[in-house]
């Protein structure tokens, strides 16, 4: 397989490798904790594979980190390349694209802000499931900006239209689905909850 030259893929590779090494986990231990194969983790860590949203969700759950944390370099400042405190230009914000569904995620807030806010663009027909563990130790609100989001919260299904919000409760498996013929755009607002 040829090596992917993509700064965001390389950034994710470094972050996953650093988080695994920080915990002194082997590839086998991370595979067991996350449910992602050792081969896939190895390809991700070498920057040879761009992980899907589902795989990133499983890895973030294993690390007990938010998805945004895996998309951000460890210790990186995200508050703008302009030097002006708090100003972040849209052109400077990296956008991550799920190679499987076309789901796009752009981080709105920087690493210094106490809440993580991301803008998500979910293509028509896309479906992105996350394990319950991806929602442990976080408080999260989903706010639909455009389109319609079919949100599976465990066994409960919510049809959310533009302007609707849902505040997530206890961790449960969740699915973000777009069953329409047009893109759905929504924001995710996340804060860290209590650690055990």
132-183 tens-digit pLDDT? 888 887 889 999 999 999 999 999 999 999 999 999 999 999 999 999 999 9
Total residues found in the chain within this entry: 196
Domain ranges across the chain: 7-70, 90-192
Question: pLDDT at position 39, please?
Answer: 93
β-bridge mates for residue 142, sequence order: 166, 188
Radius of gyration of the chain (CA): 16
Cα pseudo-dihedral 161, 135, 33, 70, rounded to 10: 80
| pLDDT for the residue numbered 196 | 37
Q: What kind of fold does domain 90-192 have according to CATH?
A: Jelly Rolls (2.60.120)
Q: What does the chain look like in DSSP terms, one character per residue?
A: -PPP--HHHHHHHHHHHHHHHHTT--HHHHHHHH---HHHHHHHHTTSSPPPHHHHHHHHHHHT--HHHHTS-TT---S-TTSSTT---GGGS-EEE-TTT--EEEE-S-TTSSSEEEEEEE-TT-EEEE-GGGGTTEEEEEEEEESEEEEEETTEEEEEETT-EEE--S---EEEE--SSS-EEEEEEEEE----
Torsion (CA) 139, 144, 145, 146 in degrees, nearest 10: 160
pLDDT of residue 133: 83
Q: List Cβ neighbours of 143 (8 Å cut-off, separation of 6 or more).
A: 164, 165, 186, 187, 188, 189
Q: Do domains 7-70 and 90-192 have the same CATH topology?
A: no
- What's the whole-model pTM score? 0.75
Whether the CB-CB separation of 121 and 183 falls below 8 Å is answered with yes
CA distance 87 to 76: 15
CATH topology of domain 7-70: 434 Repressor (Amino-terminal Domain) (1.10.260)
Report the pLDDT value the prediction gives residue 77, as an integer from 0 to 100.
36
- Give the residue ranges of the chain where pLDDT is below 50: 1-5, 75-84, 195-196
Q: Output the pLDDT for position 173.
A: 93
User: What pLDDT sits at residue 6?
Assistant: 66
Q: Which of 175, 122, 130 is nearest to 148 (CA)?
A: 122
């Amino acid at each position: 397989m040829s090596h992917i030259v993509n700064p965001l893929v390389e950034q994710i590779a470094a972050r996953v490798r650093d988080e695994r090494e920080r915990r002194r986990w082997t590839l086998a231990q991370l595979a067991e904790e996350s449910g992602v194969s050792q081969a896939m983790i190895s390809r991700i860590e070498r920057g040879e594979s761009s992980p899907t949203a589902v795989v990133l969700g499983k890895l973030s759950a294993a690390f007990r980190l938010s998805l945004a944390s895996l998309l951000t370099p460890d210790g990186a400042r995200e508050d703008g390349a302009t030097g002006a405190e708090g100003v972040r230009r849209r052109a400077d914000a990296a956008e991550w694209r799920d190679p499987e569904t076309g789901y796009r995620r752009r981080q709105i807030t920087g690493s210094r802000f106490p809440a993580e806010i991301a803008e998500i663009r979910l293509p028509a027909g896309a479906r992105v499931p996350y394990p319950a563990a991806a929602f442990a130790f976080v408080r999260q609100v989903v706010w639909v900006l455009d389109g319609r989001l079919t949100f599976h919260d465990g066994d409960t299904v919510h049809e959310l239209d533009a302007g609707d919000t849902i505040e997530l409760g206890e961790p449960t498996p969740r699915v973000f689905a777009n069953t329409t013929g047009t893109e759905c755009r929504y924001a995710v607002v996340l804060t860290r909850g209590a650690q055990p």
